[in-house]
A = this chain, B = another copy of it.
Amino acid sequence: MSDRDTRHKHAMQRLKAHVDEKVAGATEQRGLLLVFTGNGKGKTTAAWGTVTRALGYGYRVGVVQFIKGLWECGERERLAQDPNLEVAIMATGFTWDTQNREADTQACREVWAEAARMLADPEVYLVVLDELTYMLKFGYLDIETVKRAIERRPSEQTVIVTGRNAHRELVAMADTITEMQEVRHAFNDGLQARRGIDY
């Protein structure tokens, strides 16, 4: 074995010991609260990736789409036939298109009722609250209502919240938080949003 190969083997042994130690230290099993936030691309996309993953094992999944509901959505189309997936959509579209606080608030509360039902259902393994953060920011929903529903959910249920500027109380509750930071975005360089990639 060459020196380089030997060094590689030793480095990998140290890495394996580190990984094994971490795995052995993780003993608690329950549903998680994940928050995907930050200004970069990938928050909603990672949520849909997780939906696909959970459906792959036959788990029941609920997705609630705040804001982007009227957009074309390739992943929704792809998975729509799955009997284990339920999608609830806030049907007003972007809040900067409607420009109507009262109508948006009403639409938000209607779709939140669907979310609350999913969050109370022990048969639902994963609930995605996509773009929920904006509902709190705009005051369409209050944080106490949201917190209570998430706290009281069945212990095996995982919840994913996506959106920029996650409310500090949601962040405080979360088990895992990833900040998707924009290092560069093609859109800012004049490249169009791409079908099947960006939406």
The yes or no answer to A106 lying at the interface (CB within 8 A) is no
Query: Are A75 and B56 in touch, CB under 8 angstroms?
Result: yes
User: Smallest distance from the beta carbon of A91 to chain B beta carbons, Å?
Assistant: 17
The yes or no answer to A73 lying at the interface (CB within 8 A) is yes
Query: Are B96 and A15 in touch, CB under 8 angstroms?
Result: yes
The yes or no answer to A107 lying at the interface (CB within 8 A) is no
Total residues of chain A contacting the partner, CB 8 A: 87
Query: Are B32 and A191 in touch, CB under 8 angstroms?
Result: yes
Map CB proximity to B onto A44-75 as digits: 1 under 8 Å, 0 otherwise: 11111111111111010000000000000111
A158 to B197, CA, bound (A): 8
Most buried by B among A46, A97, A190, A199: A46
